[in-house]
């Protein structure tokens, strides 16, 4: 015999709707009671709200009943979990033709059955609409105003975890919530396991990165998330009672006892149930919590709202500061490398050898104390700042001395292209220094990126400008000295500011503490930007002049391979292509014409090129 249990007010309605079943299976219609007694292994159809189903389930399990759920207006969670269609007629037809019952696990929270999900905290999507495949941004944005809470988690295999989270989601399978469908590639309803998702961003910046990444990558746990798969778990909240929702119903508790009762009940799920969710074997435990805050960090996070920028952990502080203090110390190996790299760079500059100059860049250890200086400036650490300034100052003096002395004894006095290229810095060089500073700071903060520091040193090229400065002193050429000194100062200031800003973003200093140091660094960079902007404008003007004159045709020929030397007066060198050699009058006419075009006195250096045909 089959039994249909409904509320008293729905009794007549359900009798009317299930007439076909009554004729085929001799239905018995019963009114809901929490302690209802049925024959063992009865076939039971429930037309009840979620709350009544949860109260009745333990008795049906004890009596080994086979259970089906009919679509009820207030049984949305049960219907969603079991794939029950909203059409009562469709579900009745499905039950009549359904295959054999399946045995399902049941997840309990404090002895209350969980149909879909238990959610602690704010900012999580609770809908399980299958048409949604991405995290809803509106839910993630709620995290911006969240205060993390401390939670202790103990699971069935004697593992314990203390951390802080903005939210925890517990579900039995991947279709329970949008988040579980995004992260889990597969899960089942009868593998004797539940999932705990612990969401623990340390800053609003962390959330923004996950929002952007959710558009590009699926089935990926957020970088600030943890996941546990277990049979049992106990959650406790050191800060007191915590509000949570269980299948969208609100509760408050100081601790939660979670367990999965394996093979608990035989059921005939709805017509929309995916039988691929049935496990072929028992599940295995999962414990991925390496990204979650440590107990010390958890205690700090739970006292305030999420900061805009992530704060580094105590371990990260300790490890990085040890490295920076070592880098800021002047010692014999450092001195030897500075002198050798300067001598190597100076010889490479004299010979116009790019590979040799690059080798000197790699050899030079000057990037280390500059990165240390940026942290000292950022955190107003006088000891670290003084040590870094001392090391940098000593490095400059040793480099200038070595380059000047080598230049003095070198029987060469004509600057090559490698030397001249470092005497006219522009805003582009400041940009290079800033990017290199960001890369250097980030590489120092991440041990796995330490090998990239050589590339950063090559990009910013600290030693060659110092070597050119020393060459300028040795030759008595203060135009070379001034340009190269400006380039080195630009690199130093740009790296310091950018590295300090990077450390700030990575959470190695509170914003308030960093304001003074950042203001000083910005002021220095702003002052340096004035001559750099003027030089950049001059470079742009020169390039525009070359572009306008290249292939320009006069009656005496066409200009090709135009080059500009900013001497006094301006010097133009070019090839003059014509079918006849130019005369003195032709050259005079050409010079006068160019002066009229450029509106400035100039001298010209012409290389005649005879063309068999007149070029146009």
In contact, 200 and 225? CB cutoff 8 Å? yes
Q: Is the pLDDT of residue 181 over 70?
A: no
Q: 543: burial class by Cβ within 10 Å (0-12, 13-18, 19+)?
A: exposed
Instruction: Select from 221, 236, 149, 151 the least CA-distant residue to 183.
Output: 221
Per-residue pLDDT reduced to its tens digit, 525-578:
999 999 999 999 988 988 999 999 998 999 899 999 998 887 778 889 999 998
Q: Which of 70-74, 94-98, 263-267, 345-349 has the lowest mean pLDDT?
A: 94-98
Query: Does residue 569 have a cis bond before it (omega within 30 degrees)?
Result: yes
What residue segments make up the domains of the chain, in order of their start?
A: 2-99, 112-263+277-301, 314-539, 550-610
What angle is formed at CA 494 by the lines to CA 488 and CA 500, rounded to 5 degrees? 135
Q: Look at residue 78 in the predicted model and tell me its pLDDT.
A: 92
Residue, of 454 and 356, whose pLDDT is higher: 356
Classify residue 311 by its DSSP letter.
Answer: P
Q: Which of 55-69, 76-90, 111-125, 352-366 has the lowest mean pLDDT?
A: 111-125
User: CA 267, CA 139: separation in Å to the nearest integer?
Assistant: 34
User: What is this structure's pTM?
Assistant: 0.64
Cα 390 to Cα 290, 455, 588: the distances in Å are 40, 25, 58
**CB 307: neighbour CB atoms within 10 A?**
16
Per-residue pLDDT reduced to its tens digit, 429-450:
999 999 988 888 888 887 655 5
Structure tokens at 183: 């992260």
Q: Look at residue 174 in the predicted model and tell me its pLDDT.
A: 58
Radius of gyration of the chain (CA): 38
- What is the longest distance spanned by two Cα atoms in the chain? 123
Per-residue pLDDT reduced to its tens digit, 449-508:
555 555 555 556 789 999 999 999 999 999 899 999 999 999 999 999 999 999 988 878
Buried b (16+ CB within 10 A) or exposed e, 475-504: bebeebbebbbbbbbbbbbbbbbbbbbbbb
User: CA 483, CA 506: separation in Å to the nearest integer?
Assistant: 34
Instruction: Select from 202, 197, 195, 201 the least CA-distant residue to 226.
Output: 197
Confidence bin at 37 (pLDDT 50/70/90): confident
**CB 522: neighbour CB atoms within 10 A?**
14
CATH number for the domain whose boundaries are 314-539: 1.20.1080
User: CA 413, CA 475: separation in Å to the nearest integer?
Assistant: 7
Average pLDDT on 1-25 reads: 83
User: CA 489, CA 429: separation in Å to the nearest integer?
Assistant: 11
Q: Look at residue 129 in the predicted model and tell me its pLDDT.
A: 47
Rounded to the nearest 10 degrees, the angle between the axes of helix 314-327 and helix 427-445 is 120
- Could you tell me the end-to-end alpha-carbon distance of the chain, in angstroms, rounded to an integer? 104
Instruction: Select from 193, 201, 138 the least CA-distant residue to 167.
Output: 201
Query: Does residue 596 have a cis bond before it (omega within 30 degrees)?
Result: no
Classify residue 239 by its DSSP letter.
Answer: T
Average pLDDT on 169-195 reads: 69
Query: Strand 2-6 vs strand 28-31: parallel, antiparallel, or unpaired?
Result: parallel
User: CA 461, CA 491: separation in Å to the nearest integer?
Assistant: 8
User: CA 148, CA 121: separation in Å to the nearest integer?
Assistant: 8
CATH number for the domain whose boundaries are 2-99: 3.40.50
Average pLDDT on 66-88 reads: 91
User: CA 166, CA 198: separation in Å to the nearest integer?
Assistant: 8
Structure tokens at 251: 């509760």
What kind and span of H or E run contains 608?
strand 602-610
Classify residue 166 by its DSSP letter.
Answer: S
Cα 34 to Cα 79, 266, 305, 348: the distances in Å are 20, 19, 44, 91
Per-residue pLDDT reduced to its tens digit, 122-141:
655 444 444 444 444 555 56
Q: Look at residue 133 in the predicted model and tell me its pLDDT.
A: 41
Q: Is the pLDDT of residue 45 over 80?
A: yes
What region, left, alpha or beta, does residue 238 occupy, with left being phi > 0 and alpha being psi -120 to 50 degrees? Answer: alpha
Residue spans of alpha helices (H) in 409-477: 417-420, 427-445, 453-460, 463-475
Buried b (16+ CB within 10 A) or exposed e, 527-541: ebbeebeebbeeeee
User: Long-range CB contacts (< 8 A, 24+ apart) of 391-397?
Assistant: 391/328, 391/329, 391/330, 391/334, 392/366, 392/492, 394/330, 394/335, 395/338, 395/366, 395/369, 396/466, 396/488
Average pLDDT, the chain: 85
Q: Is the pLDDT of residue 98 over 90?
A: no
User: CA 82, CA 94: separation in Å to the nearest integer?
Assistant: 13
Structure tokens at 347: 């010889």
Architecture of domain 112-263+277-301: Sandwich (2.60)
What region, left, alpha or beta, does residue 146 occupy, with left being phi > 0 and alpha being psi -120 to 50 degrees? Answer: beta
Q: Look at residue 276 in the predicted model and tell me its pLDDT.
A: 72
CB within 8 Å of 524: residues ≥ 6 apart: 493, 497
**CB 450: neighbour CB atoms within 10 A?**
11
Structure tokens at 137: 């941004």
């Amino acid at each position: 015999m089959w039994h249909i249990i409904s509320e008293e007010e729905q009794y007549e309605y359900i009798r009317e709707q299930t007439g076909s079943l009554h004729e085929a299976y001799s239905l018995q219609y019963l009114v809901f009671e929490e302690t209802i007694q049925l024959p063992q292994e009865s076939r039971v159809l429930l037309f009840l709200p979620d709350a009544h189903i949860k109260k009745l389930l333990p008795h049906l399990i004890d009596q080994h009943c086979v259970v089906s759920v009919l679509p009820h207006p207030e049984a949305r969670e049960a219907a969603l979990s079991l794939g029950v269609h909203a059409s009562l007629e469709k579900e009745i037809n499905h039950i009549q033709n359904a295959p054999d019952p399946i045995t399902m696990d049941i997840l309990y929270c404090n002895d209350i059955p969980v149909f879909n999900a238990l959610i602690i905290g704010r900012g999580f999507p609770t809908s399980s609409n299958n048409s949604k495949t991405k995290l809803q941004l509106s839910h993630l944005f709620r995290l911006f105003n969240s205060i993390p809470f401390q939670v202790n988690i103990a699971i069935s295999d004697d593992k314990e975890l203390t951390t802080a989270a903005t939210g925890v989601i517990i579900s039995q399978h991947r279709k329970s919530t949008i988040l579980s469908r995004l992260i889990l590639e597969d899960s089942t309803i009868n593998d004797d396991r539940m999932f705990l998702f612990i969401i623990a961003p340390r800053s609003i910046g962390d959330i923004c990165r996950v929002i952007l990444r959710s558009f590009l990558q699926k089935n990926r746990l957020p970088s600030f998330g943890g996941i546990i798969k277990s049979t049992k778990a106990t959650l406790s909240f050191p800060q007191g009672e915590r509000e949570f929702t269980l299948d969208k119903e609100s509760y408050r508790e100081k601790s939660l006892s979670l367990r999965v009762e394996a093979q608990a009940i035989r059921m005939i799920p709805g017509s929309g149930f995916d039988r691929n969710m049935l496990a072929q074997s028992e599940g295995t435990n999962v414990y991925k919590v390496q990204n979650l805050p440590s107990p010390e960090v958890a205690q700090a996070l739970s006292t305030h709202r999420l900061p805009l920028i992530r704060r580094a952990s105590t371990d990260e502080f300790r490890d990085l500061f040890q490295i920076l203090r070592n880098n800021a110390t002047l010692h014999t190996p450092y001195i030897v490398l500075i002198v050798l790299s300067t001598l190597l760079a100076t010889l490479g500059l004299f010979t116009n050898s790019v590979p040799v100059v690059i080798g000197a860049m790699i050899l030079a250890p000057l990037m280390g104390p500059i990165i240390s200086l940026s942290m000292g400036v950022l955190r107003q650490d006088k000891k670290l700042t003084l040590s870094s300034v001392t090391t940098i100052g000593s490095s400059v003096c040793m480099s200038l001395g070595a380059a000047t002395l080598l230049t003095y004894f070198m029987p060469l006095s004509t600057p090559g292209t490698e030397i001249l290229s470092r005497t006219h810095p522009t805003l582009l060089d400041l940009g290079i220094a800033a990017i290199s500073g960001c890369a250097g700071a980030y590489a120092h903060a991440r041990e796995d990126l330490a090998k990239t520091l050589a590339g950063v040193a090559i990009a910013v090229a600290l030693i060659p400008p110092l070597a050119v400065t020393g060459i300028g002193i040795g030759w008595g050429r203060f135009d070379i000295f001034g340009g190269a000194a400006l380039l080195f100062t630009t690199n130093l200031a740009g790296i310091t500011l950018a590295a300090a800003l990077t450390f700030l973003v990575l959470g190695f200093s509170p914003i308030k503490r960093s304001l003074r140091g950042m203001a000083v660094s910005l002021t220095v960079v702003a002052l340096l930007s004035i001559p750099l902007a003027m030089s950049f404008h001059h470079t742009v003007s020169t390039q525009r002049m070359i572009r306008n004159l290249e292939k320009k045709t006069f009656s005496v020929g066409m200009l090709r391979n135009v080059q500009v030397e900013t001497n006094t007066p301006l010097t133009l060198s070019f090839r003059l292509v014509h079918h006849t050699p130019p005369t003195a009058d032709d050259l005079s006419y050409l010079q006068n014409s160019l002066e009229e075009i450029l509106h400035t006195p100039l001298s010209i250096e012409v290389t005649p090129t005879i063309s068999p045909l007149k070029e146009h």
